[in-house]
A and B are shown apart, each in its own frame.
Chain A
Amino acid sequence: MSETTRAGAAAPSPVRNPVVEALKEALMAGLLAATLASFILGVKTVDAPGGLQLEYRWHWVLIAFGVVAVGRFLLRLLWWRRDAALPGAAAAIGRSAGQLAQPLGKFAGPALLAAAFLLPFMPFIGRYEMDIAILVLTYVLLGWGLNVVVGYAGLLDLGYVAFYAVGAYAYALLATHFGLGFWTVLPLAGILAAIWGMILGFPVLRLRGDYLAIVTLAFGEIIRVVLLNWQEVTGGPDGISGIPRPTFFGLEFKRFGENTFHQFFGIEFSPMHRLYFLYFIILVLALITYMVTNRLRRLPVGRAWEAMREDEIACRSLGINPTNTKLTAFAIGAFFGGLGGSFFATRQGFISPESFTFIESAIILAIVVLGGLGSQIGVAIAAIVMIGGFEVFRGLEEYRMLLFGLLMVVIMVWRPRGLVSHRMPTIFLGKERKAVSAEMVGEGSG
């Protein structure tokens, strides 16, 4: 539509009647809507004797035409005063909001942390809210893990869920077959996932951009298909059930039994205890992820990741081994994916390949991208908005998908580089700590 207005502006008509212009546009928009609607709304298939028959509903097409044409007319006349392109205006709003958000960012981290610790003790927190909080924190952990690969190193990984699955199955198998406890398996699962990260990393080292994305996507699917078909080990589509729950220094969270938590502390049994416990496990795991990745960023390896994202050829001219640098990024990212997977297995008590589909990878990636590539606080906020928001609108049933999509589009128009798009340098010579604006920072081509 904007093409027609621009063409109109270029035409030699010194006096333009805004009403006529708006009418023209409204007619065009209405016709477009009617064309689309004629296929979607205009015909309906109905069961009839002798098979399906088409039922024509032209009044619906008319309504679509009317709504779009009138809406466009009013918008054009009352709202869009000038021919300013919408994305430009939106970006300008985004920039000013970004300046506002910068001092806000200083307090957002500590405030979120305090809220996370106090959350279970709030009066309005019930079982359901606790479950959501645990879920959100799991995604925060995964987001921070993937952030190393996608945000720092600039390698687009669409198969992150594979490492999540490796961690989950590592715990499930080691616990059900060998009786190992959660705390023993946790680091093992992380290391196993890291090894798989390197196995994936090797063949894709030379690939960049879209090619890398496709191969990592395929890797994620391979892991899922293997889990689905390797019946003897993984149980195939039936999954693995009866995965042991984590213990508190050997104390179990059960109503009856020998070594139970409530008996030891002499308190009333409550199913909430285990939820609190799980919540604090994932909170601590997420904080460990935060601290380790944050610290790595300030170390030579982290700077090499970011330098690799900015310019790989320059890195090689400075003696940085690209193979090692990329593999460490994959391995570290996968390690935290494995931790998250282990936690997922112990929380659910049951896992099957269904939990590790591509959509999981997509959600985690969306959290990282919406949060702002490389920004840890942004990732945390994005996880809360995405996962928490998704649950809050559960009442809207299928419309929540619509709302969800709309939200993502709005965020990307408003802040194309994610919620927190500026980059904080890792070292300063002077006293002033200044952020690097988003326009300078590369996104990586791999």
Chain B
Amino acid sequence: MSTPVLTVEHMTMRFGGLVAVDDLSFTAGRRQITSIIGPNGAGKTTVFNCITGFYKPTTGRLTLTHENGDAFLLERLDDFRINHLAKVARTFQNIRLFGGMTVLENLMVAQHNPLMLASGYSLAAVLWPASYRRKEKEAVELARYWLEKTGLIHRADEAAGSLPYGEQRRLEIARAMCTRPVLLCLDEPAAGLNPKESEELNELLVSIRDDEGISILLIEHDMGVVMKISDHIVVLDYGRKIAEGTPEEVRNDPAVIAAYLGVSDEDEVQEVIHEQH
């Protein structure tokens, strides 16, 4: 198997006295869908924020490796450089679109860095706009590709804020894909979707993995989505990894069942974990 796209080693994140993530290590395979699951408050989004640079982990090392062998230490990069250089794109739990801009404009903003370069940092293009037109057309084509793929092409010229919820979720994924990422991090993409939309999301994610060859890191509560499409699952509880494996392994793991269903006695949980190892 090729090298994993993301390796997280001994990552700890403290907020004052609160330990949100405690000595977490895992890897995300290339061209695989890796899911992070766990009860509310388990520290899943904190892990995401550390990977995408919105938080700096207290300790630990996060290595992102490109297919050509280039490696980036994510804990040392600014958030916007993680997207620009390391090619990690993300979506947000509470959707963050540019509501007053059209769907197409949202996807153009996502291609900011290559377009900046093409427009001579906007200086050349102010004086001579024709020089930049070809590159802009290419950017529109990429946007059109993702709009067709996410079924939003008929909405291209509408304000992003006026779209229904499910379409906003898809647009956020399309926008992240327009940055041409190596690793796509999705924070609860199925939240608030109806079963049909959920099914479409599954197809989209599988297509991103299989057709585009992009690795996906997924936080999700919807087990229908997680169990069906994940290649690898990491289970967190109270900031610690309590289990890891294929969907089948995780589904039958007593520690996971205990964490989700609740076990009255703390010792009992420890016992269950001991049995597992």
A interface, CB within 8 angstroms of B: 292, 295-296, 299-304, 306-307, 310-311, 313-322, 328, 423, 425-430, 432, 434, 436-437, 440-442
Q: Tally of A-B residue pairs with Cβ under 8 A? A: 140
A299-B122, A313-B92 given; name 17 further pairs at CB < 8 Å.
A299-B132, A300-B119, A301-B122, A303-B108, A306-B98, A310-B101, A314-B96, A317-B80, A317-B92, A318-B176, A320-B109, A425-B105, A428-B156, A429-B144, A432-B157, A441-B100, A442-B100
In the complex, what residues of A have CB within 8 A of residue B92's CB?
A: 313-314, 317
Residue in B89, B125, B160 whose beta carbon sits within 8 Å of that of A317 in the complex? B89
**Chain B contact residues: over half helix, strand or loop, or mixed?**
helix
Asked if B115 is an interface residue, CB under 8 A from chain A, the answer is yes
B175 CB-CB contact with A under 8 Å: yes
A436: B residues at CB distance < 8 A: 100-102, 159
Contact A313 B98 (CB under 8 A): no
B109 touches A425 (CB 8 A): no
Evaluate contact between A318 and B144: CB separation under 8 angstroms: no
Contacts of A299 in B (CB 8 A): 119, 122, 125-126, 132
Which of B54, B90, B100 meets A423, CB within 8 Å? B100
Are the CB atoms of A440 and B100 closer together than 8 Å?
yes
A311 touches B157 (CB 8 A): no
Q: Which residues of B contact A321 (CB under 8 A)?
A: 80, 84
**B175–A427 CB distance below 8 A:** no
Q: How far is the CB of B77 from chain A (nearest CB, A)?
A: 11
Given known A320-B112, A429-B156, A429-B157, contact A300–B122 (CB-CB < 8 A): yes
Q: Is the C-beta of B113 less than 8 angstroms from some C-beta in chain A?
A: yes
| B168 CB within 8 Å of chain A | no
3 nearest CB pairs, A to B: A441-B100, A319-B83, A319-B84
Are B80 and A430 within 8 A (Cβ)?
no
A318–B83 touching, CB < 8 Å: yes
Interface flag for B110 (CB, 8 Å): yes
- In the complex, the answer to whether B157 meets A430 with C-beta atoms within 8 Å is yes
From B89, B104, B147, B153, contact of A427 by CB (8 A): B104
Least distance between B241 CB and chain A CB atoms (Å): 25
Contacts of A319 in B (CB 8 A): 80-81, 83-84, 112-113, 179
Contacts of B244 in A (CB 8 A): none
Residue of B with least CB distance to A432: B157
Chain A residues with CB under 8 Å of B96's CB are 311, 313-314, 317
How many residues of B are in contact with the other chain, CB < 8 A? 50
* A303 to chain B: closest residue by CB: B109
Chain B residues whose CB sits within 8 angstroms of the CB of A317 once the complex forms: 52, 54, 79-80, 83, 89-90, 92, 96, 176
- Interface of chain B residues 35 through 67 with chain A (CB within 8 A): 52, 54
Contacts of A429 in B (CB 8 A): 104, 140, 143-144, 147, 153, 156-157
Within 8 Å by CB of B79, from A316, A425, A428, A440, lies: A316
Q: How far is the CA of A426 from the CA of B101 in the complex (A)?
A: 9
Q: Does B161 contact A (CB under 8 A)?
A: yes
The answer to whether B129 has its CB under 8 Å from any CB of chain A is yes
Which residues of chain B have C-beta atoms less than 8 A from A300's C-beta?
108, 111-112, 115-116, 119, 122
Q: Which residues of B contact A318 (CB under 8 A)?
A: 80, 83, 89, 109-110, 112, 175-176, 179
Contact pick for B129, options A295, A306, A437, CB 8 Å: A295
State the Cβ distance, B237 to closest chain A Cβ, in Å: 27
- Whether the pair A440, B99 counts as a contact (CB closer than 8 A) is yes
Considering only residues 141-161 of chain B, those with a C-beta below 8 Å from chain A are 143-144, 147, 153, 156-161
Residues A310 and B102 in contact, CB atoms below 8 Å apart? no
Q: Is the CB of A427 within 8 A of B140?
A: yes
A300–B160 CA distance with the chains assembled, in angstroms = 18
Query: Least Cβ distance of B234 to chain A in Å?
Result: 22
**What CA separation (Å) do A310 and B99 show in the bound complex?**
7
Contacting residues, chain B, for A313 (C-beta < 8 A): 54, 92, 96
Complex contacts, A296 vs chain B, CB 8 Å? 122, 126
